[in-house]
Structure 1
Amino acid sequence: MKLRQKITLLISLALLVPTVFISTVAIYKIRSKANTDIASYHDEELGKLKLYLKHITDIAYGMIEVQHKHLQDSIDRYNAHADSTQAKMTMSPALMERTLKELSAIRFDKGEGYFWVTDNKVPFPTMLMHAEKKDQKGKVLDDPKHNVEKGKGRNIYQVRAELSNANGDAFVEYVMKKPGTEEVDNKISYSRLYKPLGWIVSTGFYTDAIDKAVADKQADLNSQIGQMIFFIIALAVIILAVGLTVSIYFSKALTNAILQIKDKLEQLAEGRKVDEVTVDRKDEIGSMTQSLNAVVSGLASYTNFAKEIGVGNLTQEFTPLSKEDILGNELLEMRDNLKKAADEKSIRDWANEGMASLGDVLRRNNSDTKELAHEIIKELVKYLGVNQAALFILEEGNGPEDQWLELTAAYAYDRKKFLKKRVGIGEGLVGQCVLERGTLHLREVPQEYVTITSGLGEAVPRTLLIVPLLYNESVYGVLEMASFKVFRDHEIAFIEKIAQSIASTVATVQINERTKRLLEQSQQMSEEMKAQEEELRQNQEELQATSEQMRRRQVELEKENERLKRGLPATDTKSNEAIEASEFETV
Structure 2
Amino acid sequence: MKLRQKILLLAVAPLAVAMLGIAFAVRYQATQLAQHERALVEAAYLQSKEMELRHYVELAQSAIAPMVRSGRADLATRQAAMEALARLDYGPDGYFFLYDMQGRNLMHPRQPELVGKDLWTMRDAEGTLPIQKLISAAKAGGGAVRYQWKKPSSQQLAPKLGYVVAVPEWGWMLGTGIYLDDVERTLRQLDARAETDIRETMAWIGVIAAISILLVAASGLALNVSEHREADAKLRQLAQRVVQSQEEERARLSRELHDGISQLLVSVKLVLETATNRLRLAPTEGAAVAPVLGMALNRLDTVFNEVRRVARNLRPALLDDLGLFAALQHLAREMQGGSRLDIDVTQRGTPRELPDEQATALFRIAQEALTNVERHAGARHVRVSLAFDADATRLTVRDDGAGFDVPSMQRDPRRGIGLRNLGERIAALCGQFDIVSGSGGTELVASLPLAKPAPKPAAVSHDPVSAGPSQS
| TM-score bin, normalised by smaller chain | 0.3 to 0.5
Structure 1-normalised TM-score? 0.39
Q: Quick check: which has more Rg, 1 or 2?
A: 1
Structure 2-normalised TM-score? 0.47
Q: Which has the higher relative contact order, 1 or 2, with Cα contacts under 8 A spaced 6 or more apart?
A: 2
